[in-house]
Amino acid sequence: MKEVKSPKKPLIYYYSIILLIVLLFNLIVSPLLMKNQVTEVDYGTFMRMIEEKNIGEVEVEDDEILFTDKDKQQVYTTGAMDDPTLTQRLYDSGATFTKEIQKTMSQQTFDSAMLNLGKGTRNYQKYDHVRKSIFSGIAVCGRCGHSLCSCGTVYKGEREKYWYLSCTKQRPDVADPCEGVRVRYSDLMEVVRRDLNEILAMTDDKIEQLVAAVLRETQTAEAKQNRQLQQDRANARLKTIDKVITKLYMDNAEGKLDDARLTDMVAQLQKESDGLQRLLVTLEADETEQVTENYQRFFDRARHFTHIEKLDRETLSLFVERIEVGPKELPQGIQKTIHREQPFRQSIRIFYRFIGELGTAPMRSFPLPQKPEVGVYNKIAQ
């Protein structure tokens, strides 16, 4: 008797089964694995972890903050908020700023992305002829607040001589363009270097006199009035927020507002309330103790230096938080500068870390004198 063999199934049958398994994995298993990798938390939890110094790596984006715990065992995400002191608090907590917190599912996928990332572009750090400003993210336009970027040309082989920083919003192709400011790169470098060296040269007695002068300024009637005004506005807004939240829950109970909309609106109001509470804590803190502590932190850093011969990015970031560059003021009857030695004045305001702005006269005279003026901050202390 002949054996009857069952007909072989076509290959398309097996391909269909494999394809179905892959689809089911991507639709069900993969999202579950990715969800377990990143834990979403509220901003308050993020703030508490900063205070506890339990932040390992952090990546701050426009609308999201990714971070790990100190042991880098768990990745968290939270929404970004308008928090001007966040960077400094993260720095003080020992966090590491990185772009390498992985949200992908596998190391293989991540490695493939990193391999292809940036293909077709050039690494400009390899090219010596490209100007690399140390003021990126620090120097801003005094008119509009936008950052300053490098510009200039090369003439007879001279590059540094024709290197400027210019407002990025001084463009005709943007809405409401800025009138712009421009400063010679070497001039700004020298102004900041000289100011820092004068601060580093201050004796302990001069530092004590400077702190005493600042404390006297904070105790003026105008300063107290401004703090009280901010407190009154914050407390009034908090009361309004409480009333609005109560009304929202009442509308939800009456069926006028759905649950999703209620949750979203309450979350937004709660974020605003948390920010106001932090502001009140700052305003109610002992001003004398806070000012003294901030100056102590700044000059503790300064004691590691005696003199800055050449200013670099690391040193600049250590001491300076922001630099505002204003427009030039030319002598009467002069419309534009036509040569390097032509005198003019320009506002350069330097805001130092922890202590803010020092000095009473941001207007600088150019060309800079060969020998720096001595005693600007010593005069303030007196």
pLDDT tens digits for range 273-325: 888 888 787 777 656 777 888 899 999 999 889 999 999 988 999 999 999 99
C-alpha–C-alpha distance, residues 353 and 88, integer Å: 9
User: Residue 97 CA to chain centroid, in angstroms?
Assistant: 11
Contact between residue 327 and residue 142 where contact means Cβ atoms under 8 Å apart:
yes
As given in the structure block, the two tokens for residue 83 are 């928090």
Contact between residue 55 and residue 49 where contact means Cβ atoms under 8 Å apart:
yes
Element (H, E) at 298: helix 287-302
Taking only the tens of pLDDT, the chain with its 382 residues reads 455 455 555 666 666 777 777 777 666 655 555 444 678 887 778 888 888 889 988 887 767 888 888 888 888 888 776 666 677 778 778 888 765 444 444 555 555 555 554 444 444 444 455 667 889 888 999 988 888 888 877 777 777 778 899 998 887 777 788 888 999 999 999 999 999 999 999 999 999 998 888 888 777 766 677 778 888 888 888 888 888 888 888 888 888 888 888 888 888 888 888 888 887 877 776 567 778 888 999 999 998 899 999 999 889 999 999 999 999 998 888 777 666 778 899 999 999 998 888 865 788 988 887 665 544 454 444 4
Q: What are phi and psi of 345, to 5 degrees?
A: -125, 150
The one-letter amino acid code at 147 reads S
pLDDT tens digits for range 3-19: 545 555 566 666 677 77
Among the listed residues 178, 124, 121, the one whose alpha carbon sits nearest the alpha carbon of residue 147: 178
CB-CB neighbours of 375 under 10 Å = 10
β partners of residue 79: 64
Does this model's pTM top 0.85?
Answer: no
C-alpha–C-alpha distance, residues 178 and 170, integer Å: 5
C-alpha–C-alpha distance, residues 326 and 192, integer Å: 15
